[in-house]
Amino acid sequence: MNAEKEARFDMKIAVLCGGLSNERDVSISSGTGVARALQARGHDVVLVDLFLGYTRPFETAAEVFRRGEVSLGTTAIGADSPDLEQVKGLRPDDGVRIGPNVLRLCRAADMVFLALHGEEGENGKLQATLDMNGVRYTGSGYLGSALAMHKGLSKALFRQNGIPTPESLTLRRGAPIGAMPADCVVVKPCSGGSSVGTSIVRSPQEYAAALELAFRYESEVLVETYVRGRELTVGVMDGVAMPVIEIIPKSGFYDYQNKYQAGATEELCPAPIGPEATARAQKLAEQVMAALLVDAYCRVDILWDTEHDRMYVLEANTLPGMTPTSLIPQMAAAQGLDYGQLCERIMEASFKKYEKSES
């Protein structure tokens, strides 16, 4: 960055995390890491839970940023997703999912760093709310967020843009289910994340149980033909692909436990797949970002069927994890960026969407 940009990055930053997503614990871990890293780089930072809000007394927002509060307690991620009913009990039930003083602090910030994961923070609703309040934030705008979050819409856009993706169908709660569409399928909530509620199914009996599980989380479920292959993921920053990672769970598939429990998965970065396959995966990731109208950065998940030498895009994540075991920080490290530099790079890429709209 030049001197002008460096000066711009001495800022008041509100880091939003938590909320009422099934990925709440992951989000708090991400948010804590981001807040501490940005504070260490000289910014005035406050870490805020989207749902619980900020309840300490204060007179001015500037006072809160000067306090530099970057901890919400534990950052541990359990083996299972959190009990959201218990979280709801920590605040009066007023029907509002944005906690006290959240928008006030966001409006006072130079930039809001979104460390939220899951539908609540990534489906575009929060982004639209921040837009209506004149708040600048990291990551994609509301439209790209919404298109990427809904896996059924994403896959329709992939096909429209010639991006290979496994065959799939979308089921709605209460509608006729029909027979299992292939010998082996993956069943998952249509807008979920971190593989919560996801199952690999090999029999009609398993199919019924998998659908029941997925419908606990959402009213729409994606049923996708299973593709056997090597699991790859590629970050894209400002339209340019980052190094590829190969993901190798030590048991089972890359589910919630294998994503966040240390040592459960081997992650190879850069992926040992050769330059030609690397270039193909990176090109696909860049095409996905463009097709879904995603701004700033994202991470794209790909399966490589090596038997038939075909790559299939599964989905894009518009607010990738920033936990100690997350993948985007590993990609950045392979490019020579430490964690704090990555956080600032995300902010720099995010500023560009506002510069475009103002030019």
Catalytic residues: 23, 194, 260, 299, 301, 315, 317, 321
Q: List beta partners, residue 245.
A: 233
Cα–Cα dist 141/130, whole Å: 10
Name the one residue in this structure whose structure tokens are 């001015």. 60
Identify any residues that bridge with 310 across adjacent strands, giving them in sequence order: 305
Q: What is the dihedral of CA 229, 241, 330, 141, to 10 degrees?
A: -100
Number of H helices, E strands in the chain: 14, 12
Spatial contact of 130 and 112, defined as CB atoms under 8 Å apart? yes
CA dihedral 86, 87, 92, 93 (to 10 degrees): -80
Neighbouring-strand partners of residue 235: 299
- Pairing relationship of beta strands 220-225 and 185-189 according to DSSP bridges: antiparallel
Contacts of residue 125, defined as CB under 8 A and 6 or more positions apart, other chains included, come to 142
Q: Rounded to 5 degrees, what are φ and ψ at 325? A: -105, 10
The encoded tokens of residue 5 equal 């940009």
Strand partners, 113: 15
Could you tell me the CA-to-CA distances from 54 to 14, 48, 65, 127, 188 in Å, in that order? 11, 6, 12, 19, 34
Task: Return d(Cα 328, Cα 342) in angstroms, integer.
Answer: 9
At 176, list the tokens.
Answer: 């006729």
**What are the start-end ranges of the E strands in the chain?**
12-17, 44-49, 111-114, 168-172, 185-189, 199-201, 220-225, 230-237, 240-249, 265-268, 297-305, 310-317
- DSSP symbol at 32: H
